[in-house]
Amino acid sequence: MKTRFVLYLVSCLLFLGSSLSAQNLKKLLADGDKAIADNDYFGAAIYYNKAILQDSSDITIQYKYADASRLNYDYAIADHWYSKVYKADAQGRLFPECAFWLASIKKTEGKYKEAKKLFDKYAKKNKKKKNDYFVLKANQEVLACDYAQLLTVSPDKSISIIHLDSTVNSKVSEYAPIQMDSILYFSSLRDTKDRDKKHNVNYNKIYTSIQDTIGFQKANELDTLFNKEGIHNANTSFNTDFTKVYITRCEQKNMQDFMCEIYSSGFKNGHWQSLQKLPSEINMKGYTNTQPAIGFMGEQEVLFFASNRPGGEGKLDIWHSKINADGSYEKPVNAGKKVNSMEDEITPFYCNPCQELFFSSTWHKGLGGFDIFKSEYKNNELGEPQNLGLPINSNYNDIYFSINSKRTEAFISSNRIGSYFEEKESCCNDIYMFEIPQINEPPKKVDSTQIFITQMKLLVPLTLYFHNDEPDKKTLAITTEKNYKKTYEDYSVMREQYKKEYSKGAKDKELERAYNDIDNLFDDSVDAGMQDLEKFAQLLLKVLKDSEKVTITMKGYCSPLASTDYNVNLAKRRISSLRNYFMEYQNGVFVKYVDNQNLAEGSITFFNEDIGELKARPNVSDDYYDTKNSVYSPAAALERKIQIIAISTFSSNK
């Protein structure tokens, strides 16, 4: 009886502990969800982290923690948990946007090939949702990842980025640098005395640091004329003769969102006057108006600023308003579709001598989150944005480009690796500086042919795949009349057959995993290879028209299903199909370039590396009758390939 009572007591205690644990987990998730709703991503990450320590196997908790970590700039943590969710929910039934967000994290980490693959897969899977934001963004990011790889291999080595030391930067954010003569003005969250207790953050204040022959002196906070207490003060900007200053003052709505208005002050009798809020033409009621900058579009003085007012292209857009001779402002005009997008365009700066608008955007093709772009003002309009490239931009957020009044140095703000932080990397922006060439120097000529060659080389090794014993089954011939594009098209339509054969005997999760493995085979390898080949051919034609001499080196591989002699001939037929592709491309446009001896024209030379049989992988069968593993398994399919393994070019004109 006593033993039975003890067992009963123990079971009650275990049940009580389990119940309390479940209640605690439920509360942690509820608190995390509330923090997300309040845009308090730091707080949400803390709650979800505690929740995942209690139950790390729950895929919903994993996804919530990944989301909060991404929004809180904890990229490594976000990558880890998104990857787990993506693997477990391979078809995206529970969390359809997981692949998209994982791709975004990979891009932020500079893993552009992985990011492109995930963005491309997401876009194709959801292609029926033509106007869906995520699909549009994924397609844009596929192009951006290609462009980022190009920028990565061709940084501007003449630019040396200097991270300003602790006289300017701190462990919290510094941003909005603008230098007039020797005085650097910037904004910072370092003032702990004036604090927003509701949102648990310091109020932004404006600081100055004097640059002398040694460097920058210790920063000082401006007086209360500029830094009003109980509100965020930031974004200093001056007119060209230093007689007027503009700043932004913002009230915090939640942990991420602000309602901002632009103020200005005139310099009279040796003093700055009290700041006055700009009229309703600029400060449209109910919308954010921020980040003022003065420039001259031609002869007309203009106020640039960022705003989410109606009539724009997306979220925050760049707007500009003409400033009349009497100091009044005309109705603001949107900077246009070439500059603005469905996402954020922010931090405008206008270079008067070069007539260029500099700004940051998350939409235009770039390396990371926000990249810095410039748009030339010509023929009364702003042109297509140009990415400033590495090392000015990084795979993190790069904002607030400005050129000092002496036109000798430029400044940016960035949360790139190397910025100071207190709790985690990339949490906070720091100010960086670099020397710039004389603005009146002519711009460097862009060698477009070299860019095309670089893009081609980034595609190498370019891998192409074949169905078993294709082209031309059961023959010892070493050539074929088939074009690789035809063999690809025949292969591509076999996806469902591969699923059927490879999934034989599988049930439930194993069946779903088998289907997913085949989808990955075709999406990431078979289809991706053909897409790369088409891009390679387009670039090849461009460089040949510029008289480049191109050597293309190819290598064949195949699975160990048949004898070595047979496989060698099969590999040669596969290379022959690729040659046929080039010879028949656009009705034979490449034919005249093949082995062309005219030194004044472009030429193609094909070179074949030795071909042979790949060593069988442990999970690849060489049993002729075991077609599930010898033919239809992804492991076997990945061995049936050829590659363009190298490309070299030479121009007799250079």
Same domain as 557, residue 475 = yes
391 falls within a domain: yes
Query: Is 605 exposed, middle or buried, given 0-12, 13-18 or 19+ CB atoms closer than 10 A?
Result: middle
* pLDDT, tens digit, 9 for 90 and up, residues 289-334: 999 999 999 899 999 999 999 999 989 999 999 999 999 999 999 9
158 falls within a domain: no
Strand partners, 174: 188
Of 134-148, 254-268, 546-560, where does the model show the most confidence? 134-148
The boundaries of the domain holding residue 139 are 112-152
9 falls within a domain: no
What percent of the chain shows pLDDT beyond 70? Answer: 92
Question: Cβ contacts of residue 27 below 8 Å, gap of 6+?
Answer: none
Grouping H, G, I as helix, E, B as strand and the rest as coil, residue 196 is strand
pLDDT-derived band of residue 390, with 50, 70 and 90 as boundaries?
very high
| Amino acid identity at 613 | E
**Predicted local confidence at residue 9, as pLDDT:** 45
Half-sphere exposure of 534 (CA within 13 A, CB side): 8
Between CA 86 and CA 100 the distance in angstroms is: 10
Same domain as 557, residue 583 = yes
Burial code (b: 16+ CB inside 10 Å, e: under 16) for 142-162 equals: bebbbbbbbbeeeeeeebebe
CATH number of domain containing 270: 2.115.10
Same domain as 128, residue 54 = no
Does 565 have pLDDT greater than 90? no
Between CA 185 and CA 324 the distance in angstroms is: 27
Same domain as 406, residue 428 = yes
β-pairing, 271-272 vs 195-196, is unpaired
End-to-end CA distance of the chain: 100
Same domain as 364, residue 401 = yes
At which of 435, 461, 480 does a domain end? 435
**Predicted local confidence at residue 191, as pLDDT:** 86
Same domain as 321, residue 198 = yes
- Asked whether 417 and 162 are in contact (CB, 8 A), the reply is no
pLDDT-derived band of residue 651, with 50, 70 and 90 as boundaries?
confident
The total number of residues shown for the chain amounts to: 654
Of 547, 46, 24, 505, whose CA–CA distance to 255 is shortest?
A: 46
13 falls within a domain: no
Same domain as 416, residue 315 = yes
Q: What is the pTM assigned to this prediction?
A: 0.86
162 falls within a domain: no
- Asked whether 370 and 362 are in contact (CB, 8 A), the reply is yes
Same domain as 291, residue 386 = yes
**Predicted local confidence at residue 257, as pLDDT:** 84
* pLDDT, tens digit, 9 for 90 and up, residues 2-28: 555 445 444 544 454 555 466 699 999
Same domain as 461, residue 326 = no
Record the tokens describing residue 175, joined without a space: 């941003």
At which of 95, 122, 143 does a domain end? 95
**Predicted local confidence at residue 614, as pLDDT:** 57
What is the count of structural domains for the chain?
4
